[in-house]
Amino acid sequence: NRSRPANKIIQPDFKFEDMGIGGLDSEFSNIFRRAFASRIFPPDLIEKLGIQHVKGILLYGPPGTGKTLMARQIGKMLNSVEPIIVNGPEILNKFVGQSEENIRKLFAPAEEEYREKGDESQLHIIIFDELDAICKQRGGRSDNTGVGDSVVNQLLSKMDGVDQLNNILLIGMTNRKDLIDEALLRPGRLEVHIEVGLPDEKGRLQIIGIHTLKMRQNHILNKDVDLQELATLTRNFSGAEIAGLIKSASSFAFNRHIKVGTMAGIEADISKLEITRDDFLGALTEVKPAFGASEEELE
């Protein structure tokens, strides 16, 4: 595991097609242009331009669209130290009274390494999942404990400190951008905002391709399954819902291969397991998109 300084970060062996993420090409190129391109400039050019590296990104959009997958892949792409992932509610609830201390601890390894190695330090990524849980209480809108306030204040002061460090990248994730304290979204903090929305048909085809790859390699998908047709039929599905649909179709196929025996319990003969178009049609009656009705339902 080679260490790579925070200002020379792009991992040379990284391939986009190996990421296992479908339909987010433009989001990735946006992130790259807006948040990372400057990191591959030579340091003297950065000095001539008089700019600072982007230290924080917000990924927002509906659940199950691949935000967590993206955040992890960003870590791989940038050859960072293994990203630390923290969850908003966990910070608030699990360690009541210690939330501020927890925030401080999150930043400590990166701060220490920067003190020792300066710009030669490896990049540290801190991912805040469900960031809105920490933020929405500031000002006492939904609870009066004041915990949210002090955590956000601590986070803000840490973020301002990050300005002096080139080896930290913060990634916030949320389904509710509208609930995030504006102060966290200002320049110098989580300043690049990337919307990760529901996939379009082309994106859905890519996601279906990714999640059926093993089945196709192992010849478990019947020839009557048309991936393009599935992409058309899954309008308004998120990536997670597409993964759920494929799992559901497999369960219909398993069902044909299971015999309930008297003494031996359940037996399964999976040697001829095949998933057919009908299994997918069955799954489509079972797995529905949470956001937006499908086209047929609108008619």
Could you tell me how many residues of this chain bind ligand ATP (CB under 6 A)? Answer: 18
Cβ–Cβ < 8 Å for 272, 257: yes
Contacting residue, 35, 81, 125, 207, with ligand ATP by CB under 6 A: 207
Query: Which residue, 5 or 61, has its beta carbon nearer to ligand ATP?
Result: 61
- CA dihedral 183→185→186→187, nearest 10 degrees, is 150
Q: Helix/strand/coil (H, E, C) string of 214-264? A: HHHHCCCECCCCCHHHHHHHCCCCCHHHHHHHHHHHHHHHHHHCEEECCCC
Instruction: Provide the minimum distance between the beta carbon of 170 and ligand ATP in the complex, in angstroms, as a whole number.
Output: 16
List the one residue from 220, 240, 273, 284 that touches ligand ATP (CB under 6 A). 240
**Count of beta carbons in the 10 Å neighbourhood of residue 155:** 27
Please select the residue that binds ligand ATP; options are 10, 46, 69, 284, rule is CB under 6 A.
69
* Type of residue found at 280: F
Asked whether position 83 contacts ligand ATP by CB under 6 A, the answer is no
**Minimum CB–partner distance for residue 76 and ligand ATP (Å):** 14
The distance of Cα 88 from the centroid of its chain, to the nearest Å, equals: 15
Count the Cβ atoms, other than its own, within 10 Å of residue 118.
Answer: 14
To ligand ATP, the closest distance from the beta carbon of 173 in angstroms equals 6
Is residue 59 within a helix (H) or strand (E), and if so which, with residue range? Answer: strand 56-60
Quote the least distance from Cβ 256 to ligand ATP, whole Å.
25
**Stretch of 15-23, 74-82, 187-195, 226-234 lying at the interface with ligand ATP (CB under 6 A):** 15-23
Tell me the C-alpha distance between 257 and 51, whole Å.
Answer: 62
Q: At its nearest, how many Å lie between ligand ATP and the CB of residue 200? A: 11
23 binds ligand ATP (CB under 6 A): yes
Any contact of residue 75 with ligand ATP (CB under 6 A)? no
66 counts as binding ligand ATP under rule CB under 6 A: yes
Which residue, 256, 272, 285, 271, is CA-closest to 222? 272
Site string for ligand ATP, 209-228 (x = CB under 6 A): -x------------------
Query: Could you tell me the smallest distance in angstroms from the CB atom of residue 108 to ligand ATP?
Result: 26
Stretch in the footprint of ligand ATP (CB under 6 A) among 67-75, 80-88, 138-146, 221-229: 67-75
Look at residue 168 and give its three-state secondary structure: strand
DSSP β-bridge partners for residue 125:
169
